[in-house]
């Protein structure tokens, strides 16, 4: 047996898709190149053009990957809320747990901000902006679900920009107030 490593095409596609979203978050869609994605994925340049011949193909794959990841995360939130005896406490715990990977949270929020500049990224932002309020709606109604989502986004941005932890009792209390209105 030779020392050659086995190449997993699906793993490479996934790595390139994830790297694409990191490059977009850092540099924007306009500065995303096959070369930058290959470097971020630590793969040869030829791999990007082999799996994704055009830049549009590469960006589309990255978006699909990001949307699928975000939808999976939202399904997990929905499952935890469904089984929770106290929705406000469970939601606060979800926000706290979400913030444990600050690098990933920054990436996702960078992509949402980038969506304000680039329509191609809007489906990703839309999944979050519509997904969480839809999950909350059965518990608190549509208006409160939207308001709680806005509160959570603000709390997450505050935690990111100040490098602080979430005020869990404060967030739980605010969620309860919004849920009652």
Position 70 confidence tier, pLDDT thresholds 50, 70, 90: confident
pLDDT at residue number 1: 44
41-66: average pLDDT: 90
In the Cβ-directed half-sphere of 100, how many Cα atoms lie within 13 Å? 6
pLDDT at residue number 78: 95
Scored b (16 or more CB within 10 A) or e, 72-98 reads: ebbeebbeebeeeeebbbbbbbbbeeb
Compute the mean pLDDT over every residue in the chain, rounded to the nearest whole number: 89
The answer to whether residue 97 scores a pLDDT higher than 50 is: yes
Provide the residue count of the chain. 181
Position 129 confidence tier, pLDDT thresholds 50, 70, 90: confident
The answer to whether residue 111 scores a pLDDT higher than 80 is: no
pLDDT at residue number 120: 76
Report all structural domains of the chain as residue ranges with CATH numbers, in order of start: 9-180 (1.10.357.10)
For residue 108, give every residue at least 6 positions away whose Cβ sits within 8 Å of its Cβ, in sequence order, or none.
Answer: 66, 70, 128
131-153 pLDDT, tens digit per residue, is 999 999 999 999 999 999 999 99
Q: Can you list the alpha helix ranges (DSSP code H) found in 83-141?
A: 87-98, 102-117, 122-140
Nearest to 97 by CA among 25, 152, 32: 152
């Amino acid at each position: 047996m030779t020392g050659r490593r086995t190449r997993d095409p699906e793993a490479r596609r996934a790595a390139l898709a994830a790297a694409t979203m990191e490059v977009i978050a850092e540099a924007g869609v306009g500065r995303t190149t096959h070369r930058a994605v290959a470097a971020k994925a630590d793969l040869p340049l030829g791999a990007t053009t082999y799996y994704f011949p055009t830049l549009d193909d590469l960006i589309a794959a990255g978006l699909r990957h990001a949307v699928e990841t975000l939808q999976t995360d939202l399904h997990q939130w929905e499952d935890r809320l469904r089984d929770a005896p106290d929705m406000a406490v469970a939601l606060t715990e979800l926000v706290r747990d979400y913030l444990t990977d600050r690098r990933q949270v920054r990436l996702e929020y960078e992509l949402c901000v980038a969506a304000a500049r680039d329509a191609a990224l809007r489906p990703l932002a839309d999944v979050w902006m519509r997904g969480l309020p839809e999950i909350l709606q059965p518990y608190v109604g549509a208006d409160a679900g939207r308001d709680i989502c806005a509160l959570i986004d603000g709390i997450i941005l505050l935690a990111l920009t100040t490098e602080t932890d979430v005020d869990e009792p404060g967030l739980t209390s605010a969620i309860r107030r919004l849920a009652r209105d």
